[in-house]
Amino acid sequence: MQEQLTPDFGEYELIDSGSFEKLERFGDYVTRRPEPQAIWRPTLSEEAWRQMADASFRRDGRSDERGEWRLGPKMPDRWTVRYAYGAMRLRMRLALTSFKHVGIFPEQAANWNFIYDNCIGLAAAGEAPRVLNLFAYTGGATLAARAAGAETTHVDSVRQVVTWARENMELSGLDGVRWIVEDALKFVRREVRRGSRYRGIVLDPPAYGRGANGEKWILEDNIGEMLACCAELLEPEGAFLVLNLYSMGLSSTLARTAVRQAFGPPREEQWGELCFTDRGQKQLPLGTYYRFSR
């Protein structure tokens, strides 16, 4: 089923968007940062944006990705937000990075709910499901699985990011996550050789990236092998998969076709865009997803 998803995230709000920027509230603080998909005009005035923003990101003229934040007098270096769903209570630390990120992708909360629900259902069968989170960043999906009682493996190639995810685990009152600092493709190749199996796999690959030892990741070149390896790792029944794609131009239909070729037709599937709607009722797409259960 094709569907657009918008999570109910009480401590996050997309206030306005336009002119390739977005104005967002994370907890008590408002940030202004680039957004390549906001091709329309903002609803609020430039003066309103300036007055509301506690921190504004400005790109470095030599880079499309890097830049620096200009901070208002009340803006801290670090702060936390909370997310609740069912019995899940997550707390995550945010910070302003030189790549314009703040530590979470709030639209992914829609997938955190899906992961949590599936893990609760699998655990009800009598054993803790094993879940693998690849390109796992600061661990929102990891925490959702662990909060539902899953034996969770978190894989990311950046040690500082894994440390950040561990901090989020502790802030959320959780423990027991297996942390792996390694290139994701190298890890799944080894898991295939070991004959490992998982009940859930979460894939959140970037368009481009580098592994812990300089391994090069290019989405279009490597996603086929990644999906083929994951198809060998996922249990044939009583299992789920989540795939996110952030690269502009890659559709959820493309993701669905690639996954179905690698894994075969699932029992239930869902695909589409992850979105938020701002106060001016402009709907901003923030990535595509495909997920299934079988």
Backbone φ and ψ for 214, nearest 5 degrees, come out as 85, 5
Report the CATH number that the domain containing residue 211 is assigned in CATH. Answer: 3.40.50.150
Q: Map tokens 């942390």 to a residue.
A: 179
Domain that holds residue 168: 99-293
Given a contact cutoff of 8 angstroms between Cβ atoms, the answer to whether 185 and 229 are in contact is yes
Rounded to 5°, angle at Cα 102 from 96 and 107: 165
Residue 184 lies in a domain: yes
Q: What is the pLDDT, as a whole number, of residue 60? A: 74
Query: Among the listed ranges 44-48, 61-65, 230-234, 284-288, which one has the minimum average pLDDT value?
Result: 61-65
Beta bridge partners of 48: none
Residue 270 lies in a domain: yes
Task: Give the integer Cα–Cα distance in Å for 224 and 261.
Answer: 10
- Section 49-60 average pLDDT: 94
Given a contact cutoff of 8 angstroms between Cβ atoms, the answer to whether 171 and 92 are in contact is yes
Number of domains observed in the structure of the chain: 1
Three-state DSSP class for residue 243: strand
Q: Is the pLDDT confidence value at 248 over 70? A: no
Residue 72 lies in a domain: no
Residue 30 lies in a domain: no
Q: How many percent of the chain have pLDDT more than 90?
A: 87
Q: How confident is the model at residue 214 (pLDDT cuts 50, 70, 90)?
A: confident
Q: What is the pLDDT, as a whole number, of residue 182? A: 95
Q: What is the pLDDT, as a whole number, of residue 90? A: 98
Residue 75 lies in a domain: no
Task: Give the integer Cα–Cα distance in Å for 97 and 101.
Answer: 6
Q: What is the pLDDT, as a whole number, of residue 236? A: 96
Alpha helical stretches, state H, 4-57: 46-52
Residue 79 lies in a domain: no
Dihedral sign (CA 118, 122, 127, 130): negative
- Section 236-255 average pLDDT: 89
Task: Give the integer Cα–Cα distance in Å for 234 and 50.
Answer: 48
- Section 194-213 average pLDDT: 90
DSSP classification of residue 43:
S
Residue 83 lies in a domain: no
What's the predicted TM-score (pTM) here? Answer: 0.95
Q: What is the pLDDT, as a whole number, of residue 42? A: 98
The amino acid at 171: L
Q: Is the pLDDT confidence value at 62 over 70? A: no
Work out the mean pLDDT of the chain and round it to a whole number.
95
Q: What is the pLDDT, as a whole number, of residue 63? A: 60
Residue 87 lies in a domain: no
Dihedral sign (CA 119, 125, 128, 133): negative
